Structure 1
Amino acid sequence: MVLALASGPASAQTVPMSQALTSPTVIAHRGASGLRPEHTIASYTLAIEMGADFIEPDLVLTKDDVFVCRHENDITGTTDVAKHPEFAARRTEKVIDGEKHNGWFTEDFTLAELKTLRAVERLPKLRPDNAKYDGQFEIPTLAEVIALAKTHSTNGRVVGIYPETKHPSYFAQIGHPMEARLVAQLKAAGWSKPGDPVFIQSFEVNNLKRLHTMTGLRLIQLMDASGAPADAAAPSYAAMATPAGLTAVARYAYGIGPNKDLIQKGDDAPSTLVADAHAVGLRLHPWTFRAENVFLPPSLRTGTDPAVHGRLADEITRFLDLGIDGFFTDFAYIGVDARAAWRAKAKATQ
């Protein structure tokens, strides 16, 4: 069966549903972020070496309008900027998507200035081994991530990228709109069609709707387990996850990236989201699968230490059995191995 998901430029986003259901996609969440500081070339490279299909760069803009890879434009907790006295005066307070932040922000730095900083581990208490790499890696640009993916796309293997536009409404309000710039950079890399190895994701709605009119690349509507899009384009993520909400999303998106709790929260019974999304032609790439006990359901934890690794492969298998089309994980090697075992079991039972 082949499904067309929308009209307009993205109407060419037709991919056999059977292919999506039999080949779940492993997406390296911020790279191999369970083993290296997130959003660094080292993290992305390790994820590729582990067999991830896609690497995920979160995108924010610099003062001189260059896309760089950070989880947030607030770089206080992911770089060593606080140790740079030359930037002390740039600490400031801002309200971003309704939340107050006090720190340093990418839009106040040129790329050259950001390149003098080094990445640090965002979760040092949970991932002390990652913190050993603090100060070693630069902040990468989108251009560098594209080059990395292309370099490793050899011998029949294609490594894709899965960029997320972070706070697009906020950046537009301060004079740094993202959409045209992102589309142009991806097109220059040779990527503009549904079959190209790119997904673009966002928690906002209007950002994706604009992209829908500008590119044929596959778009993913992110959904959290609570709250609503920052651009107020929908009443809540819960409303978007209903059959009516999913029908609306399918008019502009290829799929959804739901918080995994929307599919199955802990050890509770699963919801109908997978079936509801598939019914309107949407794929599902839930997030985020992490190995530490604190992120796992109680039945899959090992002991009581929140930082100890539990049975992540079992959780991934649980969701693959529910019919997801791909998943975000901080531990690409566990994801790749779990998918291989799941495929082998499925083949053996055919």
Structure 2
Amino acid sequence: MARTRPLVIGHRGAPGYRPEHTRTSYELAISMGVDAVEPDVVVSRDGVLVVRHENEIGSTTDVAEHPEFADRRTTRSIDGEALTGWFTEDFTWDELVTLRCRERLPLLRPGSASHDDAEPMLRLRDLLDLVREASFSRGREIGIVLEIKHATHFGAQGWDVAGLVDAELRAAGWGSGAHPLVIESFEQTVLERVRDRGIRASYVYLLAGEGRPFDLVVRDGDAAPTYVQTASPAGLDLLAGRFDGISVDKALIVDHPASRVVDDAHARGLQIYTWTCRPENAFLSPRFRRPGADAAFGDYEGEWTAIRDAGIDGVFVDHADLGVAFFGG
């Protein structure tokens, strides 16, 4: 039976309430009724797939308070931009697991920050097992939308990211299509490499509101298309038949009322997701903000109505309960 409402995806778990990518963040999202959860994965020095939004971990862990790791602070070029901090590729998993997770946005989300320093990081395998067990215990299918981060960057360091993902999914029983799995990335090449290995999943290409995909910049230089160009009808023509869907910055829908990206994607047989639905003023399109601080909730229902009415197939939400209540009805 065709889905009549968007897939509601717990973005990094339920980070509106708990530090992102922690066990309790994912458990809370599942308990609130999401259809799927979204982990991001990066690579450790010893090749472990670690669940973190970025490979720089200074803003989401207590690493800065570990004197034994002070000399690991460095500056790296990540997808063409200089970034200073601590990076997963400089730590073994045994070292990373000694760190504790923290809220990325403590001023906006003090309630979540009250749970700082309580939990270690997760490996991808930990989350795969958690979701499979939750599906069994709750008697309903819960999916995973797995985002692969910085594959070209890690590839330059000698890691076959597609091979690591393939091995982990198969070892955990997630590679055969037995569980609902979506694999997504801002880089086309890693999606194709994982798919070519035979992992049964839906493959979704992420499109930001600006910039160019780093894998294509490395390959094609200035000839690489921008993400916005790829969201055009001509750009979508090149994706049709190669991927199962796209996932776009919500600004391409909310801030451009004349945009036909949803209809254009559907016309080419592509599903379309959008990210990220958040209720705070800081994240809403200007016309949906309301008086109050950045952390105050604005007219998020107005913005989400525009997204729902556009005919979207999936939405990423930070506040799982609000997302399920609004989009899940």
Scaled to the shorter chain, the TM-score interval is over 0.9
Q: TM-score, normalised by structure 2?
A: 0.93
Residue 193 of structure 1: how far off its partner (Å): 4.7
Instruction: Tell me whether 1:278 sits opposite 2:253 in the alignment.
Output: no
Q: Work out whether residues 161 and 197 of structure 1, in 8 Å CA contact, stay in contact via their aligned partners in 2.
A: yes
Q: Aligned pair 1:300/2:259, yes or no?
A: no
Aligned partner of 2:195 in structure 1 is 212
2:73 to 91, 98, 109: 91
Post-superposition Cα deviations, 1:99-135, rounded to whole Å, max 9, x if no partner, equal 1111111011111100110011111111111111111
Measured against aligned partners, the alpha-carbon deviations of 1:181-230 in whole angstroms (never above 9, x if no partner) come to: 11121122223356731111100111112223122311110000011101
Paired residue for 1:338?
A: 326
Matched, 1:28 2:6: no
Question: Which sits farther off after the overlay, 308-317 or 324-333?
Answer: 308-317
Q: The residue matched to 1:88 in structure 2 has which SS? A: helix
Q: Which amino acid aligns with 2:191?
A: L
Q: Secondary structure at the match of 1:196?
A: coil
- The offset of 1:299, in angstroms, is 3.7
Matches within 5 A, 1:108-127: 108-127=90-109
Give the Å deviation of 1:301.
2.6
The 5 Å alignment of 1:1-350 reads 19-20=2-3, 22-154=4-136, 155-193=138-176, 196-214=179-197, 215-232=199-216, 234-265=224-255, 268-341=256-329
Deviation at 1:51?
A: 0.5
Percent identity over paired residues:
46
Evaluate the alpha carbon distance shift between residue 291 and residue 146 of structure 1 in structure 2; reply closer, same or farther with a 3 A threshold. same
CA offsets 1:26-58 (integer angstroms, 9 cap, x no match): 011111011111111111111001101111111
Q: Which runs of 5+ in 1 are unaligned?
A: 1-17, 342-350
| TM-score relative to the length of structure 1 | 0.88
Work out the CA distance in 2 between the residues paired with 1:298 and 1:172. 39
Map Cα deviations across residues 224-243 of structure 1 (whole Å, 9 max, x no partner). 00111011264110111011
Check the 8 A contact 2:170/2:176 in 1, yes or no. Answer: no
Letter in 2 for 1:302: R
For 2:196 and 2:23, the matched residues in 1 are separated by 31
Structure 2 residue runs without a partner (length 5+): 218-223
Q: Which amino acid aligns with 1:237?
A: Y
Give me the CA root mean square deviation. Answer: 1.5
CA contact (8 A) 1:316 1:335 kept: no
Report the secondary structure of 1:200's partner residue. Answer: strand
- Give yes or no for contact 2:162–2:194 (8 Å, CA) kept in 1: yes
1:40-95 per-position Cα deviation (integer Å, ceiling 9, x unaligned)? 11111110011011111110011111111111101111110000001111111111
